[in-house]
Amino acid sequence: MQSGKAELYLLAVLFLFTLWFIRSTVRYYYGEKRKLKQMHRFAREGDLEAQQHLAKRYQKGDILPKSCERAAYWYQKAALSGDEEAKGFLEKFLESHRKKC
């Protein structure tokens, strides 16, 4: 009898953990999606940090789909705004991805 209660308790805990995990994953995904939407808005408005961050995310395929063209676009926008670091990133990016894109 005790064994049956222990198994039932274990199944209940496992079920609750699974629900918590799914809920947390969905909340994380939608939170990241909301952050990226804001980041795109800031980047379009000329925020250099947002432009660089988007370029890196597109380059790595982090949350966003991997895209050489979009990464180069955002690096170029930041570089044209006068960001020296972005100019260096753009040069390195174009050298290393010339054959891949």
Which sequence spans correspond to the domains of the chain? 2-97
Residue 5 CB contacts under 8 Å (≥ 6 apart), including other chains: none
Which tens digits make up the pLDDT trace of 15-66?
999 999 999 988 888 888 899 999 999 999 999 999 999 998 998 888 888 9
Using CA atoms, how far residue 62 sits from 10, 67, 101, in Å, is 36, 10, 18
Task: Give residue 81's pLDDT band: very low, low, confident or very high (50, 70, 90).
Answer: confident
Q: Does the pLDDT value for residue 1 go beyond 70?
A: no
pTM for the full predicted model: 0.67
